[in-house]
A and B are shown apart, each in its own frame.
Chain A
């Protein structure tokens, strides 16, 4: 099926070429990091994890985006999602690959990476994170590829793949939980030391992940003949809305616990992030942007009229993604390390090189998504599944416009 990714328009090849250029530039910077060590990053003795690990954390959320399509289809027999499932699975593949790459570029001795397997240490959450992310990657490659291959051959999906799909749905919850455990089990980091962190990770993943997926699907609709069934689109938007409401509710629970109890450990990090401390206000504008964008995205998503407006929706999703990224991809990590164990503040900001290496990994993810979505949409086109109609509907919609035309 891979050969389908080779046939494309000049615009398709132009995009692939653009991504390869970014990968090449970022790759050169990565080689520089391998020669110079992590001194080229903005990380320090006090803020010992930085942009790489925070992107890893955020992208684990993207990996779960698919499950919000797969779960309704397989557990609730929700048919409109049928032709969307493959995109969820393929997005998860790209997200898992990016997660793993962000870990690889972050470690100081990458050539010793396999020590995690040679000296397995079940008491370390990192060991389990390695297992759940690799496992989720494998499950999605297996399920996605086998199902699409059988679609292409016009055969029903084989029975043996069903258990793997069921496992992958449950597994999706594990990747967030384990990634949250990475943080929430550390005795000295009060911002992370909260039982609700795993639940918050799930909530923010189930809004930001599907939001990114929906935006990518909207782009896919622009460049291919694929059209999302309206029902599936609306259901997913509703799920995003609920998940974001739950995410912000959990955030408010944190705020209440911290400021009503006024325990220094609970308040310090939040005060540093939102008001600044010891003369450091680096993150204040970003954190308030998070709050304003989160509120704005909810204002645009909660009223059904606005939520169903396809002109507004991409903007609502876009600001939701920015809001959740500022919260989980920036504030979570820096707020965890500040105040430091000495009660002081050490600001952190990624360096240009750090950002270029990160851009390389994002470009790898975009490349994987492009190639996989290209294959999936071309199979869907061959099969006539979920294709765009002149009226703007999808063939799966059973809308009134088509039968009327056919009747005429």
Chain B
């Protein structure tokens, strides 16, 4: 009798385990095919998107103000005046931007320029490597993107990014908009929730419908955007002709943002 009960419990245990794992096994066997999507025929595509910023044309806070404004406006980035701020596109001095290439006797004008700071959309992004949930990931077109709904807010990516490109929503982002601003939020792009990380996304949502990044459009020709893997693209042409720098090349991340000096 006892033997029978033991057998029964064993059988029940194995059966329960099989029932629990069956869906996962079935899913794994299916190869995880994503649902089919219909592409926008007008959408822009590339093997590796890259940006070149002409710092001889964009050099003062005033030059950058409209670019930052349009970026933060269309992505509903709140303005927070504390060290817990959120920013996608902002500016820094030469020393802050090119920390590894200091030069105390540099040309005054170069030294006084402001330089655009944003996510570098690295070829080899440390933030993607460290993320424990794949909430930040590299798309096939080279853009490092975020899934705000999967992010657990561990902020490991912020420690991992050598460029300080990432911001964390310490507070509820919508609390930082006035009544008026809330009415004018861009309904085409989600506001984020508290407790997740965010950063520049190279305007993936605009590329998908055939528009170039908002800052590039607002720069009136002082920023170039294109496919780094296409020798005929505008970015490759500029990179051939002009002297450019990238931030912290020694980090081995292969940034996709170049600065014409």
Contact = CB atoms under 8 A, between A and B. Distances in A.
Interface in A100-130: 103, 106-110, 112-113, 115-116, 118-119, 121, 123-127, 130
Interface size class of B (residues with CB under 8 A): 35 or more
Contacts of A48: 155, 158-159, 168
Contacts of A124: 129-132, 156
B248 interface: yes
Contacts of A185: 130
Given A38-B170, A39-B170, A126 B163 contact: no
A286 interface: no
B152 A123 contact: no
Given A37-B172, A188-B161, A115 B155 contact: no
Contacts of A288: none
Interface-central residue, B130, B131, B132, B248, by most chain A CB under 10 Å: B132
B154 interface: yes
Given A37-B171, A121-B131, A341-B99, A115 B150 contact: yes
Interface in B70-112: 82-87, 92, 95-97, 99
Contacts of A44: 82-84
A147 B161 CA distance: 46
Contact of A116 (B132, B162, B252): B132
Contacts of B163: 188, 341
Contacts of B86: 45
A344 interface: yes
Interface in A113-170: 113, 115-116, 118-119, 121, 123-127, 130
A109 B132 contact: no
Nearest to A50: B155
Contacts of B151: 108-109, 112
B99 A342 contact: yes
A346 B171 contact: no
Nearest to A123: B129
B171 A343 contact: no
A186 interface: yes
Contacts of B171: 36-37, 39
Interface in B163-194: 163-164, 167-172, 193-194
| Closest 6 pairs between A and B when the two form their complex, measured CB to CB | A108-B153, A188-B162, A108-B195, A341-B164, A44-B83, A342-B96
A116 B152 CA distance: 8
Contacts of A188: 126, 160-163, 248, 251
Contacts of A182: 156
A344 B83 CA distance: 13
B134 interface: yes
A108 B173 CA distance: 13
Nearest to B92: A342
Interface string B209-245: 0000000000000000000000000000000000000
A43 interface: yes
Given A38-B195, A39-B84, 19 more contacts: A37-B169, A107-B152, A108-B154, A108-B168, A112-B151, A112-B152, A113-B152, A115-B150, A119-B150, A121-B132, A124-B129, A126-B132, A126-B156, A130-B132, A186-B160, A188-B126, A336-B159, A342-B97, A346-B83
